[in-house]
Structure 1
Amino acid sequence: MMSNDLIGKSVLIVEDDPKIRNLVKIYLINEGYEVLEAKNGLEAKDKIEKYDPCILILDLMLPGISGEEICRWIRSDLKSVMPIIMLTAKASEKSRIEGFKLGADDYVVKPFSPGELMGRIEAVLRRTASRCGKISFNGLTIKPVKGEALVNGEQLDLTHFEFKLLHMFMQHPGQILSRPQILDFIYEKSEKNVTERTIDVHIKNLREKIKQQTPVDYIQTVRGMGYKFAAN
């Protein structure tokens, strides 16, 4: 099972074969990844610009815009260092070399083992950890380095403490956090004169802002215990 530092990483699968796309999606979801899909190059470009995924699983033989063109666009036009794994039937040494020259971080040939692909994804993400500081769950994404939080690509207008709260929750998906624990997580020692009631107010405001953009109830109250972030 994937370790906690990779949970919530967003993966975009660009594949025109729905059976392969669905197979990879099932494995990714089971491993705790946030999954985005595109069946052609045009959709891929739109998803990349809107969601800025942590890693791209890219078929090369796509309708319309080829995988090679997508890779070239990411590296040359966007100037992005997004990790890319090429997943393709092009098995020749020449194709592999060309793929790496275009900027691929790994190259997997079809037919492939889904288990091996998961291992390669994890290895690439660990190797390129500094490229993706984002955490994503069910359409909710936080980018701590940029100070951004988004719901389905739309930015949330959060206060400093609301942002810290959301970041803390998303780092501990499914874990019940008590109010004292939350205080320890988000307040400095000099700020410890705040009350647990303050936490409740911040969480109420955070929930309301999220619910303005989605009906999904991410932050749940656990009666008598505290709060938890529902990742699914």
Structure 2
Amino acid sequence: MKVQNKTIMIVEDDMKIRKLIKLFLEKEGYEVFEASDGEEGKQLFKEHDPCFAILDLMLPKTQGEELCRWIREEEKSDIGIIFVTAKTSEEERIHGLKAGADDYVTKPFSPSELVTRVDTVLRRTGTRCQKLSRKGLTLKPLKGEVTYKGDVLGLTTFEFRILHFLMTHAGQVISRQQILDSLYDMNQKVVSERTIDVHIRHLRQKLQELTRQPFIQTVRGMGYKFDA
């Protein structure tokens, strides 16, 4: 399960460099989406709403600076952004930062150093992107919003809270009582565990209709588990 602040978009036309960056990021637990040109990068951003972007400055179709400005101005996003480029002059570096990037790495570079820079920027910008994400399904606790590849999933308050609880504990078997405890104050009236089954059934139907994926599994005699 990829946790909040761990989704990164790489837009780089050099496949070897792109795959190398992806390899090092995934080793650190990041979920990585990749594109080879600026227009593909825009589509990827709309679908996955990443928490971070690594952009090559010189890209086919749409330049890295233009893509950065699009993220900042059109999408109104203040996620962390690092430029990776062969340009080394101070003027070009300043120009790139003025486009909205948080940092600037020149080629050739150490993949480990790039990961460290990503971590550093995320420590400064992480609170901008509070979310849980798995296989295109994204939950934003602060916004009360769930999307799948850009499409909004309409949930009731209880369905949202159950999904949030399950995604937070992805891969773990969660009992009905644990879900009840997360939903209801102990001072409230007793609620049947079967109520949870009803909420789960409706939640599953909505997820299945939109995603075609079995995100929530039933563990017989124990409870439920969100696919990790």
Normalising by structure 1, report the TM-score.
0.88
Task: Pick the aligned partner of 1:122 from 119, 123, 126.
Answer: 119
Give every structure 1 segment of 4 or more consecutive aligned residues whose post-TM-superposition deviation is greater than 4 Å. 4-8
Secondary structure, in 3 states, of the residue corresponding to 2:17?
A: helix
1:22 and 2:19 correspond? yes
| Contact map agreement 2:5 2:126 (CA 8 A) in 1 | no
Change (3 A) 1:63 1:53: same
1:220 and 2:217 correspond? yes
Q: Flag structure 2 segments of 5+ consecutive residues without an equivalent.
A: none
In structure 2, what is the equivalent of residue 59 of structure 1?
A: 56
Task: Pick the aligned partner of 2:7 from 6, 10, 13.
Answer: 10
Shift of 1:5: 9.5
Secondary structure, in 3 states, of the residue corresponding to 2:203?
A: helix
Shift of 1:15: 0.8
| Superposed CA offset, 1:62-117 (max 9, x none) | 01211011112223343321211111222233222222222211212222222222
The amino acid across from 1:9 in the alignment is K
Task: Pick the aligned partner of 1:201 from 198, 203, 210.
Answer: 198
The count of corresponding residues between Structure 1 and Structure 2 is 228
In structure 2, what is the equivalent of residue 184 of structure 1?
A: 181
The amino acid across from 2:33 in the alignment is L
Write the distance in 2 (CA, Å) between the matches of 1:202 and 1:81.
Answer: 35
1:40 and 2:37 correspond? yes
| Contact map agreement 1:34 1:138 (CA 8 A) in 2 | no
1:229 and 2:220 correspond? no
Q: Flag structure 1 segments of 5+ consecutive residues without an equivalent.
A: none
Identical pairs, percent = 57
| Superposed CA offset, 1:150-209 (max 9, x none) | 122211111111101111122222222222222122223344511221112211211111
Shift of 1:121: 1.8
In structure 2, what is the equivalent of residue 96 of structure 1?
A: 93
The amino acid across from 1:46 in the alignment is Q
